[in-house]
Amino acid sequence: MARPRKKPVASPGNDDIGEDKRLELWRKQLEIRHCEQRAYDLFLQNLVKGTSHLSLGQEAIAAGFAAAMRPDDKSFCTYRGHAHTLARGVPMEQMLGELMQRDCGLMRGKGGSMHLTSIDHGVMGSYAIIGAHLPIAVGSAWRAQYLGHDDVTVVFFGDGTTNIGAFHEALNYAVVFKLPVVFVCENNLYMEYTPIGAITAVEHPAADRAGAYGLDKIIIDGNDADEVYRTAQTAFAKARAGEGPSLIECKTYRHSGHSRADPGAYRPKGELERWKEHDPIKVYRARLAEFGIADAVIDDIEQAVKAEVERATAVCKAAPLPPEDILTTDVYADGGWAWRN
Amino acid sequence: MAELTYREAVAAGIAQEMERDERVAFLGEDVAAAGGVFKATVGLLERFGPRRVIDTPISEQAILGAAMGAAMTGMRPIAEIMFSDFLAVCWDFPANEFSKARYMSNGQIKLPLVVRCGNGAGSRFGAQHSQSVENWAMAIPGLKVVAPSTPADVKGLLAAAVRDDDPVMFFEHKSLYALKGEVPDGEHVDQLGVARIVRPGKDCTIVALALMVHRALAAAEKLAERGIEAEVIDVRSLVPLDTRTILGSIARTGRLFTVEENPRLCGWGAEIASIAADELFYDLDGPIVRITTPHIPLPAADNLEDIVLPTVDRIVETVTRSMA
């Protein structure tokens, strides 16, 4: 478990983040938490199909980075991407609708849980092949540099990704060309079903390798949204200033198994309980209180989020399945699927 | 009309598109300062500078990934994979990523990118630098697949590929880089998905691609001496596939031969044979015959490589025997 860092003494007078941003971080984390819990419930009712990979326990990373992003920044994530998608502002019914593979879904049921994409929100896709999106994110950053834009590309991935070749190719490439991309490793200690330490040569799978590419070794408490937010701001400022990429390893823990088929029984007894003591939602509620934010304000946001989950669920349950005529649309850029005349 | 080599036509095509559109940039291993291992990109760095003509590390996944990320966010990149065999190193990108992004995103993502590579045998490089892999790409929905046989087609089809909003796999034939031919002056843009009848004939149709087009043409001349007038079609583009031209020819001649460098199993000739059998069965006057390499890895030695590739003589003998 990550050692909690010494926090500054909290008082409204020394709040570098500010109440509005804190409440945004609170809301984003709650949206992810409650929406993901609902996704799990809907799976048990056989309404969420296929597979799904939840980020319960990892909400602070998605929320912290998204809160530091501008609307024109681009984010790339993995199949465990509900959190990152919601955090960028994608409406809940579009996400749940895609998980339920309804016509109201983000991609009208053509993508599914592992491929959430919303270009309008800068959500450049969720990638189900481990590591593939790191070089793709590098390309997005190259475009920004090439066209003289100052948006930043952020790419989220798991600890398991650090052992695939694309991770190393992408890092080397981004450093060589000094591209405005921020690599974010969500180290939840497990590569699918296997403890990352058992199959990785170094203790910190991302940060220990940063030096090999001339990057700083950055390890943060991924369950502390404030720390994530501050780290993101620093990395984004560096990228926007033309000073190149960063690699950040966020220590965290997923409360559920790898995917919904996995109860996580391989985890040592007591490990989950210890991490739940450091649950990002719990940590953040206490933080808000430390900064003197009234319980009523904190609770009102939670109630509003819960109501939004209910509303989105009802919309999705009532939504039709996608029409069969979209089956053959958008294979090619002319909107169709014809490969011959 | 200027006479250019096939390799000069590559650089001319890239230059024409870079001149026209700032969003076109070009990246690959040894493509800039060295001008490409096949010298197909000589002069581009000097003309467009290192911002637009980029020497990359030997990182095929990074090259295709970067091209994809740039294409989906507003550029129109051209990426080179030096030998088409190396596509296997980064096959995730054509197979899973840029072929499917448009569909999975329900049309949100557009991917105007071109992947060029040196394809095909004849240079004694051995089995890992000599393959014809255009059939790999043809099997994946979402990709377009082009393989030119002349300098004019290189320039025109490359320009068309760059302007296309789909990912295009562009297979240049290594044994054709020195071939000279007339290339239209000024801006030259062709159209994807149009096959060309390169020699008219009434007795049979020979469908070929890239280097094999030239061998099929030479074979047709010899066949004419034997009284067989073969119509030769250069497919040029496997996806989109111009079945109208191909089937129209077969309907007239009643016979179909395909000539390809692919190993016997699952080459593109099998697909064309299948389409012809489906749609023209009652117009056929004899069996459809595929002329391919055997189902073996490519050997390096002169005499062995020469045996496995379809030769002019093998095409002549096969057609003659079948037509008898």
Is residue A263 very low, low, confident or very high in pLDDT (cuts 50, 70, 90)? confident
Does the structure show a pLDDT above 50 at A8? Answer: yes
Do B92 and A129 lie within an 8 Å CB cutoff?
A: yes
Do A138 and B69 lie within an 8 Å CB cutoff?
A: yes
Do B244 and A341 lie within an 8 Å CB cutoff?
A: yes
What are the tokens at B262? Answer: 């692919």
In degrees, to the nearest 5, what angle opens at C-alpha B147 toward C-alphas B142 and B153?
120
CA atoms within 13 A on the CB side of A201: 5
Smallest CA–CA distance, residue A83 to chain B, in Å, is 18
% of chain A beyond a pLDDT of 90? 91
Cα separation, A137 vs B50, in Å, equals 21
Mutate to test the interface with A, among B26, B81, B108 (most CBs of A within 10 A): B108
Is residue A12 very low, low, confident or very high in pLDDT (cuts 50, 70, 90)? low
Using CA coordinates, name the residue in chain B closest to A155.
Answer: B69
Contacts of B56 (CB under 8 A, 6+ apart): A173, B27, B28, B29, B31, B62, B63, B66
Residue range(s) occupied by CATH 3.40.50.970 in chain B: 2-183
Task: Please give the biggest Cα pair distance in chain B.
Answer: 60
Is residue A261 very low, low, confident or very high in pLDDT (cuts 50, 70, 90)? confident
Do A339 and B92 lie within an 8 Å CB cutoff?
A: no
With beta carbons less than 8 A apart as the criterion, state whether B13 and B155 touch. yes
What are the tokens at A117? Answer: 């994409």
Per the structure, how many domains does chain A have?
1
B129 is catalytic: yes
What are the tokens at B23? Answer: 């969003």
Do A119 and B107 lie within an 8 Å CB cutoff?
A: no
Smallest CA–CA distance, residue B175 to chain A, in Å, is 28
Query: Which of B75, B112, B164 is facing A143, going by the closest CB pair?
Result: B75
Strand order in the sheet with B78-83: B53-55, B26-28, B78-83, B114-119, B168-173, B144-146, B237-239
Q: Tell me yes or no: is domain B2-183 CATH 3.40.367.20.
A: no
Kindly report, residue by residue over B110-138, the tens digit of the pLDDT.
999 999 999 999 999 999 999 999 999 99
Question: Does A4 map to a domain?
Answer: no
Q: Which residues of chain B have pLDDT under 50?
A: none
Is residue A257 very low, low, confident or very high in pLDDT (cuts 50, 70, 90)? confident
Question: Does A48 map to a domain?
Answer: yes
Kindly report, residue by residue over A215-256, the tens digit of the pLDDT.
999 999 999 999 999 999 999 999 999 999 999 999 999 998
Do A132 and B107 lie within an 8 Å CB cutoff?
A: no
Kindly report, residue by residue over A132-184, the tens digit of the pLDDT.
999 999 999 999 999 999 999 999 999 999 999 999 999 999 999 999 999 99
With beta carbons less than 8 A apart as the criterion, state whether A186 and A252 touch. yes
Instruction: Kindly state the average pLDDT of the residues A60-77.
Output: 98
Give CA separation, B69 vs A180, A218, B92, in Å: 13, 25, 14
Cβ-Cβ contacts under 8 Å, A141 against chain B: 69
Q: What's at A148, amino acid-wise? A: G
| Residue numbers of the domain that contains A246 | 19-258+268-316
Chain-centroid distance, C-alpha A194: 21
CATH number at residue A297: 3.40.50.970
- How crowded is residue B46: how many other Cβ atoms within 10 Å of its Cβ? 11
Cα separation, B168 vs B147, in Å, equals 10
Question: Does A191 map to a domain?
Answer: yes
Chain-centroid distance, C-alpha B226: 31
Contacts of A54 (CB under 8 A, 6+ apart): A36, A39, A40, A80, A82, A254, A255, A256, A260
Do B56 and A173 lie within an 8 Å CB cutoff?
A: yes
Cα separation, B15 vs B32, in Å, equals 13
The CATH code of the domain at B196-323 is 3.40.50.920
Query: Which of B105, B112, B144 is facing A107, going by the closest CB pair?
Result: B105
Can the peptide bond before residue B240 be classed as cis, meaning omega within 30 degrees of 0? yes
What are the tokens at B203? Answer: 């007795």
Do A124 and B93 lie within an 8 Å CB cutoff?
A: no
Is residue A6 very low, low, confident or very high in pLDDT (cuts 50, 70, 90)? low
Cα separation, A118 vs A41, in Å, equals 24
Cα separation, B157 vs A23, in Å, equals 55
Query: Which of A111, A125, A138 is facing B66, going by the closest CB pair?
Result: A138
Is residue A5 very low, low, confident or very high in pLDDT (cuts 50, 70, 90)? low
What are the tokens at A211? Answer: 């030096």
Q: How many interchain CB pairs under 8 A, A with B?
A: 163
Question: Does A14 map to a domain?
Answer: no
Cα separation, A85 vs A69, in Å, equals 13
Cβ-Cβ contacts under 8 Å, B240 against chain A: 338-341
Question: What's the confidence (pLDDT) of residue A1?
Answer: 46
Cβ-Cβ contacts under 8 Å, A338 against chain B: 240
Question: Does A250 map to a domain?
Answer: yes
Cβ-Cβ contacts under 8 Å, B56 against chain A: 173
Cα separation, B30 vs B57, in Å, equals 9
What are the tokens at B231? Answer: 């119509």
Chain-centroid distance, C-alpha B206: 17
Helix, strand and coil in chain B, % to nearest 5: 40, 20, 40
